[in-house]
Chains A and B, each alone.
Chain A
Amino acid sequence: MTSSRRKSPYVSGIIDSSPFILVIIPFASLFGVLATEAGLSVVETMAFSVVVIAGAAQFTALQLLQENAPTAIVLASALAVNLRMAMYSASLTPYIGAAPLWQRAICAYLTVDQTYIVSVAEYEREPQMTVRERVAYFMGAVTPVVPLWYIFTYVGAVLGTQVPDSWALDFAIPIAFLAMIAPMFRTLAHVVAALVAVVVALLAAGVPYSLGLIIAGIAGMMAGAQTELWLDRRAETAP
């Protein structure tokens, strides 16, 4: 997706993140359905999606609440799943850190996997963008995603238990994430980072409180950084 500088950054953001509409609809509906099946009211389900706005963490919390896990464990596990948001925040800082505080606060609330991935990919492609343009692009990337997250949580909550298991909505998440990741493998370092993360994630699956995810993520990031250094050194010594 090459972006033309003639379009406004906001519109480019909308266009680039619009494929996620296909993902957000089943994902948000699924949360609404599962929350209702767990006995949550429509208001409680909506509050979950509006206040927390993080699918994977919401599913984790819901799962553990149903198992009557202690509140501290529910919170620790769901926040561990969301630790990647801190990494996203760090990764966005060089690009939008100079924006006014209130804009950074709004961007922080709206940082989800889709908006982060689309925005960072664009910032890397178009290094000459101004901070203002980057924030506008970010808000564009949010537009097809976040309102649908609220709306379809509601739809799922209202449909509730009528959705049959045969729809296999559970697998919307893996398919979506894989489809998002694939175009990001631009260098050998990206591929190594992903492979190491996958291997460590599978080996660390037994680590409690979803911490395996964080361990695997850090291992993958270190592997990517080391590969990049190695490639740089090799390029320097080449004739």
Chain B
Amino acid sequence: MTDIDTGTLWTVIIVLGLGSFGLRFVFTGLVGDRAMPPWVLRHLRYTAVAILPALVAPLVVWPAATDGAFDVPRAAAAAAALGIGLVTKNTILAIITGAGTLYALLYLLG
């Protein structure tokens, strides 16, 4: 077992909790219903479609579970989830296809 210091751990939990709440509250809480300029709104429309792919791309190309080595089952699962999602627009079907692809290939490739 690793020896994470209890004081450090609780400091991280509490400060990270307060900080995360602050990040979530900063605009909805402080800006409220004051109008934001159109150029800001135009950028905000692309928040989700930019941030989530940016979060996922390194996880797909360099998975932590294989110590960063490219992994065919994981890459194929990612492609399957994205492809089925694009074609069917159905999130749950995309998740099932992705997970199914991952387990099938992990089994077949041993």
Contact = CB atoms under 8 A, between A and B. Distances in A.
Tell whether A and B belong to one assembly: yes
A228 B20 CA distance: 31
Interface string B39-64: 11111111111111111111111111
B102 A178 contact: no
Contacts of B8: 65, 71, 74
A28 interface: no
Contacts of B10: 44, 47
Most chain A beta-carbon neighbours within 10 Å: one of B19, B50, B64: B50
Interface residues of A, number: 98
Contacts of B33: 97-98
Given A170-B63, A182-B86, A222-B43, A201 B94 contact: no
A51 B50 contact: no
A40 B9 contact: yes
Contacts of A20: 91
B55 A56 contact: yes
Contacts of B23: 79, 82-83, 85-86, 89
Contacts of A176: 95
Nearest to B62: A205
B69 interface: no
A205 B51 CA distance: 14
Contacts of B72: none
B83 to A, nearest CB: 8
17 contacts: A19-B91, A65-B8, A87-B47, A91-B45, A105-B25, A109-B21, A170-B63, A174-B81, A180-B85, A180-B91, A183-B90, A185-B49, A197-B50, A217-B51, A222-B43, A225-B39, A225-B43
Interface stretch (A4-12, A146-154, A187-195): A187-195
Interface of B: 1-4, 6, 8-17, 19-21, 23-29, 31-34, 36, 39-65, 73-74, 77-78, 81-82, 84-86, 89-92, 94-96, 98-99, 102-103, 106
Contact of A179 (B15, B60, B98): B98
Contacts of B95: 19, 22-23, 175-176, 179
B79 to A, nearest CB: 9
A94 B50 contact: no
A168 interface: yes
Which 9 pairs between the two chains have the least Cβ-Cβ distance? Answer: A182-B85, A220-B50, A224-B46, A51-B17, A179-B94, A216-B54, A98-B33, A175-B98, A19-B92
A201 B16 CA distance: 24
A107 B74 CA distance: 34
Contacts of A82: 19-20, 23
Contact of B58 (A120, A196, A202): A202
Nearest to A116: B48
A182 B6 CA distance: 41
Contacts of A84: 47, 51, 55
Most chain B beta-carbon neighbours within 10 Å: one of A39, A84, A196: A84
Contact of B65 (A48, A171, A217): A171
